[in-house]
Structure 1
Amino acid sequence: MRRFSLALATTLGLAFPAFAGEQYVDTTGFAVSGYDVVAYRDLPQNPVGTEQPAAVPGRADITADYNGATFAFATEENRDLFLSDPAKYAPQYDGHCAYGVSKGGKVPGNPNLWRIVDDKLYLNITKNVVGFWEEDIPGNISLAEGNWTEIDPAPASENPIPNFDSSAPARN
Structure 2
Amino acid sequence: MKLISVTVAIAFLSLFSGSSAYSQVNPIGKDKVAIGGYDVVAYFVSGKATPGDPKIKTTHNAVIYYFSTIENQEAFIKQPTRYLPQYDGYCALAVGAQKKKVNINPETFKITNGKLYLFYNSSHALSGNKFNSLEPWLKDEEALIKKSNENWVSMSKKK
What range is the shorter-chain TM-score in?
0.7 to 0.9
4+ aligned runs moved over 4 Å, structure 1: none
Task: Identify the match of residue 106 of structure 2 among 111, 121, 129.
Answer: 111
2:79 maps to 85
Runs (5+) with no aligned partner, structure 1:
1-22, 45-52, 156-172
* Length-normalised TM-score, structure 2: 0.72
Correspondence 1:73 to 2:67: yes
**Larger strand share, 1 or 2:** 2
Task: Identify the match of residue 95 of structure 1 among 89, 97, 100.
Answer: 89
| Cα shift readout 1:14-55 (whole Å, capped 9, x = no counterpart) | xxxxxxxxx9313564101100010111334xxxxxxxx5x1
User: Aligned equivalents of 2:43 and 2:27: distance in 1?
Assistant: 18
2:45 maps to 42
Report which structure shows greater RCO (CA 8 Å, sep ≥6).
1
User: Aligned equivalents of 2:62 and 2:36: distance in 1?
Assistant: 14
Q: CA deviation at 1:154?
A: 2.0
* Length-normalised TM-score, structure 1: 0.67
Q: Which amino acid aligns with 1:35?
A: Y
Please tell me the root mean square deviation across aligned C-alpha atoms, in Å. 1.7
User: Aligned equivalents of 1:150 and 1:140: distance in 2?
Assistant: 16
Query: Do 1:109 and 1:123's aligned partners in 2 also have CA atoms closer than 8 Å?
Result: yes
2:52 maps to 58
Task: Identify the match of residue 27 of structure 2 among 24, 29, 36.
Answer: 24
